[in-house]
């Protein structure tokens, strides 16, 4: 087995007195597809936001390609103190691309301009090359005919596909999806999930927070059930979704099956 591309040890996150993540340990192998499930408020989105440092960890370590992120020092009491220089965090965010629940597109920019913006402003890619790369990623998600359209003229599913193309254009090593279909009307969910499935078939490394359990079963190589800021169950899709051992997991999954027919 190859070395983990991403390693998390003892990750905690507090928002004031609220203890959201309570000692997360996670190793992500290249090409692994991890589905993270759990109820509202369990810490799923916070975990992803800590992984690409949109939220700063309260404690613990995050290592990317064998290199720990942040500058570590020990204070006079022997306690570890970590600071996170913004220049280092920008580099991490390029490598761990995030796709959000809300699409976060710039309304005054066309689809093509939205997709190439990060290449130009963050990676300093020449505009001509950025335009070419952005157009290629929009073609990948089936939006070649929308390059000159503004976001307000797109459906929610199309806007989310633009957001995926924008993340892909930055050539991340890991893609983080934070409930990418939760803001969509039911009839638009499938078009976004098909794009994610295609990326999975390409062998990309991905972490997906989702309530689409059927999709998670077919998508994931590993499923994690998160509750109260802890991993309660980790295993294959069959282990966690079909044959859960923990009572907490069983109770959560029962909500999704009690009305089936």
Q: Where in the chain are the domains?
A: 6-257
Q: In terms of DSSP H, where are the helices of the chain?
A: 44-51, 86-95, 111-121, 127-140, 156-169, 186-201, 213-219, 237, 247-257
Q: In CATH, which superfamily holds the domain spanning 6-257?
A: P-loop containing nucleotide triphosphate hydrolases (3.40.50.300)
Q: Residue 150: CB partners within 8 Å, gap ≥ 6?
A: 107, 108, 109, 110, 111
User: Could you tell me if 199 and 177 are in contact, meaning their C-beta atoms sit under 8 angstroms apart?
Assistant: no
The rounded distance, in Å, linking the Cα atoms of 260 and 213 is 13
Residue 162 three-state SS: helix
In the prediction, which pLDDT does 258 show? Answer: 60
CA proximity to 245, closest of 232, 259, 228, 254: 232
pLDDT along the chain (261 residues), means of 10: 88 95 96 95 94 94 93 81 90 92 92 96 94 96 96 95 96 95 90 94 95 93 96 96 95 76 40
Single pTM value for the model: 0.92
- Could you tell me if residue 191 is left (phi over 0), alpha (psi between -120 and 50 degrees) or otherwise beta? alpha
**Helix (H) or strand (E) run with residue 120 in it:** helix 111-121
Structure tokens at 102: 């809300």
The rounded distance, in Å, linking the Cα atoms of 225 and 240 is 8
């Amino acid at each position: 087995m190859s070395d983990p591309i991403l390693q998390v040890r003892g990750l905690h996150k507090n928002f004031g007195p609220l203890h959201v993540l309570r000692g997360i340990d996670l190793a992500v192998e290249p090409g692994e597809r991890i589905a993270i499930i759990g109820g509202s408020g369990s810490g799923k989105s916070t975990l992803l936001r800590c992984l690409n440092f949109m939220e700063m960890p309260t404690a613990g370590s995050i290592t990317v390609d064998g290199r720990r992120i942040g500058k570590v020092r020990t204070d006079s009491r022997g306690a570890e103190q970590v600071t996170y220089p913004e220049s280092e965090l920008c580099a991490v965010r390029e490598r761990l691309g995030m796709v959000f629940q809300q699409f976060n597109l710039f309304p005054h920019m066309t689809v093509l301009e939205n997709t190439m913006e990060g290449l130009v402003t963050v990676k300093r890619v020449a505009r001509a090359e950025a335009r070419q790369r952005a157009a290629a990623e929009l073609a990948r998600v089936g939006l070649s005919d929308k390059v000159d359209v503004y976001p307000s003229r797109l459906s929610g599913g199309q806007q989310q596909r633009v957001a995926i193309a924008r993340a892909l254009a930055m050539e991340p090593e890991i893609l983080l999806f934070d409930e990418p279909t939760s803001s969509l009307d039911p009839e638009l969910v499938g078009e976004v999930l098909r794009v994610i499935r295609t990326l999975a078939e390409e062998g990309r490394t991905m972490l997906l927070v989702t309530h689409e359990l059927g999709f998670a079963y077919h998508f994931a190589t590993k499923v994690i059930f998160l509750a109260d800021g802890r991993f309660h169950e980790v295993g294959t899709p069959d282990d966690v979704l079909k044959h859960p051992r923990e009572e907490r997991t069983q109770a959560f999954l029962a909500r999704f099956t009690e009305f089936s027919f």
